[in-house]
Structure 1
Amino acid sequence: MTNIAEALRDLNEDRVSALVDEKLQQGISPVDIIKECNEGIAAVGDLFASGQYYLTELMFSAEILQGVMAKLEPLLASIGGGEQSAGTVVIGTVKGTYP
């Protein structure tokens, strides 16, 4: 487990923020940082599922992740090359009664 993932799992907001800043200074991709955060959030989910963490810890981990994403979103937009469409999705249902 990475340092960011461990800090997020342990709900250490200050450490997560410091580690994210450190990785950004080292030139680590924001996408790689998000992957590390996902590992930490998955660990929080496992602790919640096992009953070791409660809803408050789950919500706090989400707040920590929102703070990380607030730092990374401008960087993600700059590497994304602007708005690009992945395609069109069409959703529909059948009209009438079902036998």
Structure 2
Amino acid sequence: MTGEDIYLNALKEALLEMDYDKMKKAAEEAMAAGIDPLKAVTEALSAAMVIIGEKFQSGEYYLPELIVAGDVMKEGMKIIGPYMRGKNKEPGKKFVIAAVEGDNHDIGKNIVGTLLSARGFEVVDLGVDVPARRIVDAVKEQRPVILGLSALLTVTMPKMGEVIQALKEAGLRNSLKVIIGGTSVTPEFARKIGADHSSTDAAEGVEKCVQWASPGKGR
């Protein structure tokens, strides 16, 4: 195991154990040691959240555990975030993201926004519990190449479909890609509501967005 692996594993374990103090210590030590903040987020924190999401899906964890895990991750991101020096924003790489109406969970959304900003995207974050009409208005105003919709709970997932339908009615659907994210989203659900892609892994979702925004790749 390399020195880098030791720091990344410490971050991952702190999140899996949902330990605030361990997270603060692991994040501070990783940044002091010069660990790449992008790696810290994608290979440690995001990877741990995937495992936690799987436990939620299997019924081993419930919503309270997800909320605690999200808060512990935020503790780490407060320390790691300032080290993530974003690239200069590149023309044509605008991304609008929102947690749909009824959903107040923002950790996955925030991770995606942070990672995309570091990859040169201009990120417009509409926040949580965002009605379809406000999302459509933002698409009209901002003209993004990609729209990201987030929903942690299965009861709020249908709101994603309402947003896509509203985009169609406004004549905006064909002007952008739509990616949906959350612990319960599936490719089948994405196809059903007319989204272009679904992801339960922030790092994978970010790579798909980068692919879409690259000239000649995936648009």
Same fold per superposition (TM over 0.5):
yes
RMSD (CA atoms): 2.3
Give percent identity, aligned residues only: 24
Q: Does the CA-based 8 Å contact 1:30-1:72 persist in structure 2?
A: yes
Higher strand share: 2
Once the two structures are superposed, what CA deviation does each residue of 1:7-51 show, in whole Å capped at 9, x if it has no partner?
Answer: 211211211111111111111011111021011111111111111
Tell me the secondary structure at the aligned position of residue 2 of structure 1: helix
Matches within 5 A, 1:7-26: 7-26=14-33
1:80 to 77, 80, 86: 86
- Compute the TM-score of the two structures, normalised by the length of structure 1: 0.77
Number of positions where the alignment pairs a residue of Structure 1 with one of Structure 2 = 91
1:58 to 60, 66, 69: 66
Q: Which runs of 5+ in 2 are unaligned?
A: 1-7, 93-143, 147-166, 175-219
1:89 to 145, 152, 159: 145
Higher helix share: 1
Distance 1:25 1:93, change over 3 A: closer
Q: Does the CA-based 8 Å contact 1:7-1:40 persist in structure 2?
A: no
1:30 to 34, 37, 41: 37
Q: RCO greater where, 1 or 2, for CA within 8 Å and sep 6 or more?
A: 1
Letter of the 1:42 partner, please give it: V
Q: Which segments of structure 1 move beyond 4 Å, counting only runs of 4 or more?
A: none
Which has the higher Rg, Structure 1 or Structure 2? 1
